[in-house]
Amino acid sequence: MIIDTDTEPAKLVTFGAGGDTVHFSRGCYSQGYGTPERPHAADPAKKNIPDGTPVVDTTAAVNTKEGFAWALKGPLVDVDLAEGACNPLELDKDSFVAGASAATNKTFAFLLALQMTAKHGVPTRGPLDYVPIAEYALGWKEHGARIGHYEAGKIVWHD
């Protein structure tokens, strides 16, 4: 389904080394080369970014050893998941497809190895699992990211 990213309400805004991303429902997103100080894709004058929309800024975090590691081993975000839910990659069911993909893509092979390690023993979220916004933001906060929200078209950072 195609959505109008100029009128659809944003559910999450993220900033990283590559710029800014506005996440909408149903896996849709819009990206730009903005920063928290000068958003591009996340410009509230051009996008529907409601008050209270969460913001995760990983820019400084990924420049640390801990944050860089989290970028590789932390879960993905699904802005439509209910709190506490997880959409995991099922290794048993998906292992044939995952193995075939890993054979041709070394980055995916690495992520698949991390996924398998995360799933061995104590249950934890792997790098190919999807989690809701709050869990995603908390994981990044624990690894050095700034967390905030939009209020009246401006980002308010949480201490």
Instruction: Specify the DSSP element, H or E, that contains 113.
Output: helix 106-119
93 inside domain? no
42 inside domain? yes
Domain count, the chain: 1
Q: Which residues pair with 32 in a beta bridge?
A: 20
75 inside domain? no
81 inside domain? no
pLDDT of the chain, 159 residues: tens digit per residue: 678 888 999 999 999 998 999 999 999 999 999 999 999 999 999 999 999 999 999 999 999 999 999 998 899 999 999 998 988 876 654 554 556 556 666 676 667 666 666 655 555 777 888 999 999 999 999 999 999 999 999 999 997
123 inside domain? no
Domain with 12 in it: 1-70+132-159
